[in-house]
Amino acid sequence: QLTGNEQSAGSLLAKLRWLSRFEPGTLTRAQQLLTGAADYIALQLTSNAACDTTTVSTTGLMVLDTRRWLVETGMEAVTRLFPNLVAGGAQVGEVNNIGALAMGVRAGVPVYLGPGDAGATTLGVGAGEPGVPYGYIGTSGWVAFTSLRRGDPTTGVFTLAHPAADRYICVAPLLTAGGNLDWIKGVLTADSHADLIDAALARPPSDLIYLPYLNGERSPMNDPFARGAFIGLSASHTQADIARAVLEGVAFAYRHALDALIEEPITRLALTGGGTRSLHWCQMIADVCAVEVALDEDAANVGLRGALLAAQVARGDLHSYTRQKDTSAITLLAPDSTLHSGYMRKYGFFRESYEALKPLFARMAIQNE
């Protein structure tokens, strides 16, 4: 309730509790707690320690609504290590002489702490204001949007602190997105991702279903035991059919996450990340989700633009997190209603396939321990 997100044994909070109980000497020797690489770089540049609230939202160490560190009885050895908590984009100091010498940056340059990868991507893609959903397609992935209220953690949704104190970033994370394409490319020994996708989409949709949970899944179901699976494989299926099923399976996973994250129907979904280099795959996602997909032609710099936007708002140069219209061009992909109807029939089998295999995944995991 306090952190806004479900906490597991793998969370930073749980690990620090373990250290407090079993290795207190480790915490006694520690000088500072930092939660990201950006925090460390800022410390080296300015000698000031700080963490941004968006990144700390993922650790279990912050009270989400107040944006304050979580202070627990018996954790005094940890709480003494907490640095300042700042909103993403805040200035944390200026480059000092030591930082200038180490980094080759002029002393006196102001240093701003960005809002983490998810926060910067949210702002950079144009979803910093409420009501603009987007998806990120990398090795892993997510769908997210800015909201005025928390998400529901029981649906696998994670809630992060937005740089604005009265907003949240609701995120439905996918453990393996583009990683499925990397995997099948290696299995089928395709020359390139582009060749694999072209061959796959040259085939019509088949009845083959693929579950893209190679490393488990976090949303909409938090299931570490889930695994990848082909359902309906027959001797008539070709390598291209298998590759197409993988592309469809990832598209279905994005649809599934959207269904859990967004209560109201949407008409447009911004997409970013390395997976957007394939217009054909993005078109498939548009068809599956029945939304217009907006692609940023400068996706490689979306996080950089978001970090800049956060700093501009923090400085007072801008007064909203609305994306600046002249930053880069946008490509729009309209959904095909005919293909959507066919995909929805298959999507039903996709959802049923996971539910049918869920107990088997769990039993297999226990047996293989």
Asked if residue 55 belongs to a domain, the reply is yes
Instruction: Tell me if the bond preceding 335 is cis, omega within 30° of 0.
Output: no
Q: Looking at residue 152, what is its pLDDT?
A: 86
This prediction has a pTM of: 0.92
**80 and 158 in a common domain:** no
On whether residue 2 sits in a domain, the answer given is no
Residues 165 and 249 in one domain: yes
Q: Domain of 313: which CATH number?
A: 3.30.420.40
Whether 89 and 213 map to the same domain: the answer is no
From 53, 87, 114, the end of a domain falls on 114
How would DSSP label each residue in 285-318? HHHHHTSEEEEETTGGGHHHHHHHHHHHHHHTS-
pLDDT of res. 263: 81
Last residue of a domain, one of 114, 135, 154: 114
- Alpha helices, DSSP H only, in 141-292? 178-187, 193-201, 239-261, 279-289
Residue 239 lies in a domain: yes
Is the residue at 31 inside a domain?
yes
Provide the domain limits for residue 94: 12-114
| Residues 6 or more apart in contact with residue 174 via CB below 8 angstroms | 140, 141, 142, 143, 212, 217, 218, 219, 253, 254, 257
d(CA 326, CA 128): 16
Pick from 104, 125, 106, 53: nearest CA to 83: 53
d(CA 356, CA 358) in angstroms, rounded, equals 6
Q: Which of 49, 46, 56, 68 is nearest to 16 (CA)?
A: 56
pLDDT block averages, 10 residues each, the chain of length 369: 87 93 93 95 96 95 95 86 96 97 94 95 94 94 95 88 96 96 96 94 94 95 95 97 98 95 89 94 97 90 94 95 72 95 97 98 90
User: In the prediction, which pLDDT does 180 show?
Assistant: 98
Q: What are the residues facing 142 on neighbouring strands?
A: 136, 173
| pLDDT score of 328 | 61
pLDDT value at residue 264: 82
Quick check: is 268 in a domain?
A: yes
* ∠ CA 154-210-355, rounded to 5°: 40
The answer to whether residues 92 and 207 belong to one domain is: no
What pLDDT score was predicted for residue 17? Answer: 93
Pair (128, 91) in one structural domain: no
The pLDDT of residue 326: 56
Q: What is the structure's pLDDT at 29?
A: 95
Instruction: Work out how many domains the chain is built from and give that number.
Output: 2
Task: State residue 325's pLDDT score.
Answer: 64
